[in-house]
Amino acid sequence: MMRYGMIIDLRLCISCNACTMACKAAHGTQPGVFWCKVLEKESGKYPNVTRLFVPMLCNHCADPPCERVCPTGATHIAEDGLVLIDYGKCIGCRACIPACPYDARSYIKEELFYFPDTPLPHDVNEVRGLKGVVQKCNFCADRLKKGEEPACVEVCPTSCRVFGDLNDPRSEISTLIKSRHGFQLLQAKGTDPSVYYIR
Amino acid sequence: MNEFVVGFRANKEFDLLVAANFTLEGAGAATLLLSLLCDFGPGLLAGLIMVLLGVAALILDLGNPMRSWKALARTNSAWISRGSVFIGCLCILGVLYVFSPSIRNSSFALVIRTALAIFSFLTILYPGFVVSSMSSIPFWNTPLIPLLFLFHSSTTGALVLLSLLSFTGSTVHTPFNPLTLGLVLLFGTLFLLIVHVTVLSKSSSAARESVRLLAKGRLMPLHLGGAFLLGIFVPLAVVLPAGLAAGAAGAVSCIAFFITMVSRLIGDFCSRLAILRAGVYEPLIG
C-alpha cells in the first residue's frame, strides 16, 4: 500500500516562502491561514549567529493524534496515508488543534478575503464558504490525483523538498531517508510523521 | 509569540467558553450527585441547571453548533464523543427525574437514580481526560489533570450544596457532613494544585514554561488571585468559622456560605482557564 511522504533538506531551504505562496495560490486559503509556512530559528550571538529555516506543514502522521480526538470522524486517514478533513462532518470543536504537535491546523472562525472584502473571480474555490471548521494541508490531494506533485514541492527553487512513496524502498524519498539519515520532528511523541527532514 | 519563529506556542483554542463548560458541567454534575445522595430537591435542580448552562457554553463555542449531534460518532477513541454520551444521558435522565414526580415515585426510581449518579460521576471525570489526552501539551498531558478536575468539580459541588442547604434551611438527612466534606475537598484541591505545578516545574521545557506563565508570567493574577485566593483561601476562611458559628447565628452562616459558593465558582473557573491558557506546546526543534 502506498504511503505518501515528503523529505525536506534544511540545508537547502533559503526561506524564500515560494512554497507558502504556492500553497496559498493552489488552495485559496484566506488571510492569516497558512497550510504551509517556513519557521525561523536563530542561534548564537554576534558575530557567530546561525539561522535555520524549517518549512512546516501537516506531517500526515501514520498515528495522528488529531484523528484520535476528533469526535465526528471528520479527520480521517485515507488509503494512501494522507490525513484529510471532511469539512461536512467538522463541527468546529477544535480539539484537533491542541492535539497536533506540529501547529499544522487553522480554525476558520469567519471568512476573510485579501482584496478587499470579496473573492476575486479567478480565486480557487476549494475552501470557499467554509466557516466554523478546521483546515490544514492535504498534500494537494487533487493535484496528486492528476499525477502532479504538491504545489510546494513543484515551486521550490532549491529543490529542497522531495515527494514520493515511503513504502517503496527504491523511491527517491526512501533512498534519501536512509542515506542522509532523515529524521522526524518530535519523534518521541510517537506520531510517525510522513514528513522527514535532513540537516 | 511569533507564529513564524521556532519556539514556545501557547494554546489559543480552548479558552473562556471551554473553561466555563468544564466548570459548570463538572460542578453541576457534582451538585447533582451529592444531592442525589441526600435526596435534596433544590440541589438536584441547581445541579441540572448548571449542567445545562455548561452544555450551552460548549455549543456556543462550536464552529458549527447545528452539527453538534455528530459528536456522538467516535466513542471508541475520542473523549469528547464519550463525554457527549455521558452529558446527553445525564441531561435526559436529570430532566425526567427532576420534573416528573411520577418517575420519582415509580418502581424504576432506584434504577434511574443509580443511572443518574453514574452519568453524573462520568460527567465530572471526562473533561479532565479530554485535556490530558492532548499529548502535544506536556502541562496537560499528565494523570494529575483528571484528578485535579475531579477535585475541582467535587469541591465546587459540595460548596454549592452547602450553600443551598443553608439557604433553604433544609433538614434533609445527609449520609455525610457537607461541611466536613467541603473542607476535606478544599484541602485536597489545594494539595493537587500545588503538586501539579511542582511536578510539572521539573518536567520538559514546555511544561516549565507553562509553570512560569502561571507563577510569574501573564497568568499569575488568574492563577494566584483566581484559583488560589478566590477558589481556595476565601472559601476556607469563610467555611471554617462560619461552620463553627452556625449553631449560634444561622443567618450569618447563610450569607457566608453564599459568598463561599460564589467565590468558589469563580475560583474554579479561573483555575481551569489558567490551566488552559498555560498550555504550551513542545518546541518543534530543540
Cell 433544609, residue located: B170
* Residues in Cβ contact with B37 at an 8 Å cutoff, skipping those fewer than 6 apart: B117, B174, B175, B176
* Per-window interface: A 82-141 vs B, CB < 8 A: 89-95, 97-103, 107-109, 131-134
Provide φ and ψ at B150, rounded to 5°.
Answer: -60, -45
pLDDT computed for residue B240 by the predictor: 74
pLDDT computed for residue B248 by the predictor: 46
Q: Is residue B195 part of a domain?
A: yes
Q: Is residue B286 part of a domain?
A: no
Chain B residues in contact with A38 by the CB 8 A cut-off are: 4
How many structural domains is chain B composed of?
1
B78 contacts A69? CB cut-off 8 A: yes
A185 contacts B285? CB cut-off 8 A: yes
B285 contacts A54? CB cut-off 8 A: yes
Cβ-nearest to A71 among B3, B11, B74: B74
- Min mean pLDDT across A50-64, A102-116, A180-194, B149-163 is at A102-116
Q: Which amino acid is at B115?
A: A
Q: What is the mean pLDDT of residues A4-24?
A: 96
CB atoms within 10 A of CB A121: 5
A131 contacts B137? CB cut-off 8 A: no
β partners of residue A84: A76
- Is A52 in CB contact (< 8 Å) with chain B? yes
Helix axes B144-168, B109-132, angle to 10 degrees: 140
**Beta strand pairing call for A195-198 and A4-9:** parallel
Rounded Cα–Cα distance for residues A76 and A63 (Å): 11
CATH of the domain at B250: 1.20.1630.10
Q: What is the DSSP letter of B62?
A: S
Q: Is residue B135 part of a domain?
A: yes
Q: Is residue B5 part of a domain?
A: no
pLDDT computed for residue B191 by the predictor: 97
Q: Does residue A108 sit in helix, strand or coil?
A: strand
How many structural domains is chain A composed of?
1
- Min mean pLDDT across A98-112, A159-173, B153-167, B240-254 is at B240-254
* ipTM score assigned to the predicted complex: 0.91
Q: Return per-residue pLDDT of chain B as tens, 286 residues.
A: 567 888 899 999 999 999 999 999 999 999 999 999 999 999 999 999 999 999 999 999 999 999 999 999 999 999 999 999 999 999 999 999 999 989 888 888 999 999 999 999 999 999 999 999 999 999 999 999 999 999 999 999 999 999 999 888 877 777 888 888 999 999 999 999 999 999 999 999 999 999 999 999 999 999 999 999 999 999 999 877 766 665 544 555 788 889 999 999 999 999 999 999 999 999 988 7
Q: Is residue B1 part of a domain?
A: no
Q: Is residue B171 part of a domain?
A: yes
Rounded Cα–Cα distance for residues B103 and B272 (Å): 36
Chain B residues in contact with A108 by the CB 8 A cut-off are: 63
Q: Is the pTM of this model over 0.90?
A: yes
B4 contacts A39? CB cut-off 8 A: yes
A100 contacts B136? CB cut-off 8 A: yes
Note down the domain range covering B87: 11-281
Picking from B5, B6, B205 by the largest number of A CB atoms within 10 A of its own CB, the best residue to mutate is B6
Q: What is the mean pLDDT of residues A111-130?
A: 76
Note down the domain range covering A56: 4-198
Radius of gyration from C-alpha coordinates of chain A: 17
pLDDT at A23 over 60: yes
pLDDT computed for residue B211 by the predictor: 97
pLDDT computed for residue B246 by the predictor: 56
pLDDT computed for residue B249 by the predictor: 46
A37 contacts B70? CB cut-off 8 A: no
Rounded Cα–Cα distance for residues B59 and B52 (Å): 11
CATH of the domain at A116: 3.30.70.20
